[in-house]
A and B are shown apart, each in its own frame.
Chain A
């Protein structure tokens, strides 16, 4: 049997190969990159069976169409609520299936969400750069030649062992991660490290404002539009480190949340940091969507991540028989049972 590979038939902008990220090289100025929605990525790679180090294709709202070559590809799709079509048949947005050689699979922007993950039963068999296949297009590191995927590309997939999975819907009881909450996506933050650059009324404005997500947002930064925040002592600080989710407030007073492709250091005051459990939900918010921030303690943030990981570990699959499939496009709107808002699970530790 020849080696399995994914042929890219069509890819929108910013469709990239990602793994958990290129950790360990921040000190040399190397951005980790990694998935925009870490929990959806973990879910897809867990259910595909290969684990997070194997990597996945991150699909943007621009969509992706692929075909299998060489051998059947077991794969799992999760993240947002995308429209998935396998050989002309609508599938659930979160699904496990086998793509046989010559079959095509298309993933398009759907009801909600901005990022979706396609993980395979075998690992993405590209050479690791500094220990990772995560793509960082700005520095040209990782993935396929350091760039986004495009039509014609061939992505080799390592052996998986075993037959490909039967088609199954992924059932995931995680708090909603699709950026579709009715009154704006609620994002929890830990104030600081430079919250002392803002007077109390400005911190209150930051937490009380419904922010609109700018269309200029990308894998590097999500830009917020709203009333300008004022700085207490200027907007230049001596550069320091930038973690995932840092919220910089530059001179124009419009907060920007630094995402997976962020620079490792920066010189604007950071009013707060988005907690890890909510980074994916923020990432899934669409341009024009509304985001609200709520302050929580470090302890509450850690507890939220623990709960989110437990939900991923508990996610399972329900087999789909052929007769189910014709109505899947209707069911696709209602896949997640027991949806809760992310703010309910750790409310004891919150502070206003």
Chain B
């Protein structure tokens, strides 16, 4: 339901929408929704609108939060009227280029060995592949960073191999370690802090995806690509010690 007269004509569907749907999330936030699925083309539209709105520097826009399929615009309604902001968002959505410039690509070290890939054996049974193959399947893909959410630096990734599309746990498992690399519901996730989870832990990265000592706190941007590189336990420990000093141990691939 939307308030006021400013409603986009398009309905949500599987295909990317160039004219997005505007939804009110209270009187302090607008949701600009380009679709309702996880799709790189939809995500590109979200990120292009985010960039266009950031460039427009509209007074009263407080924060922009890109997610898989929508952009949340946090705003101060005493500084910018809701309908004017909705019009601007729709206008800028129509004006964006049809393709988004490629983001950067990062290689993230990940240890899949015992003690780190705690749930690999359990998922091998569920996914009907040979035990130990989960790491290789996870390594073979190039992921896209769709959003940070849930907790500081928790990094949601799309691009997981279909063979690893395991549903989430029915009940949460005990807390994982910081840096746990997890899968669930067809997605992958890199974490930053220990907490109980309904996802499956398949490895652990020594990298800190989030640090308040950095500006911005995340080195990899939403829309960047990520691949994993297997490291053994000894190498993990060495990289962990370097990461603990604030060094970024992920490698940025040279632009092609």
Contact = CB atoms under 8 A, between A and B. Distances in A.
Interface in A24-59: 24-31
A194 to B, nearest CB: 8
Nearest to A245: B26
Interface string B38-71: 1000000000000000000000001111111110
Given A192-B2, A238-B36, A275 B27 contact: yes
Contacts of A273: 24-27, 29
Residue from the set A23, A25, A141 with the largest chain B CB neighbour count within 10 Å: A25
A245 B29 CA distance: 11
Nearest to A297: B3
A266 B25 CA distance: 13
A243 B63 CA distance: 11
Interface in B48-96: 62-70, 72, 74, 77-78, 82
B24 A298 contact: yes
Given A28-B153, A29-B151, A238 B37 contact: yes
Contacts of A194: 23
Contacts of A297: 3-4
A12 interface: no
B148 A28 contact: yes
Interface residues of B, number: 46
A306 interface: yes
Contacts of A139: 151-152, 193
A73 interface: no
Contacts of B193: 139-140
Interface stretch (B97-105, B108-116, B209-217, B230-238): B209-217
B162 interface: no
Nearest to A25: B217
Residue from the set A26, A237, A246 with the largest chain B CB neighbour count within 10 Å: A26
A190 B65 contact: no
Given A26-B65, A238-B68, 4 more contacts: A28-B152, A192-B25, A273-B24, A273-B26
10 shortest interchain CB distances as A-B pairs = A241-B72, A265-B149, A273-B26, A193-B23, A301-B27, A298-B3, A29-B148, A243-B29, A191-B1, A302-B77
Interface of B: 1-4, 23-29, 31, 33, 36-38, 62-70, 72, 74, 77-78, 82, 147-154, 156, 193, 210, 212, 216-218, 222
12 contacts: A27-B148, A27-B222, A189-B26, A193-B33, A194-B23, A195-B1, A196-B1, A263-B151, A265-B150, A298-B3, A298-B77, A301-B27
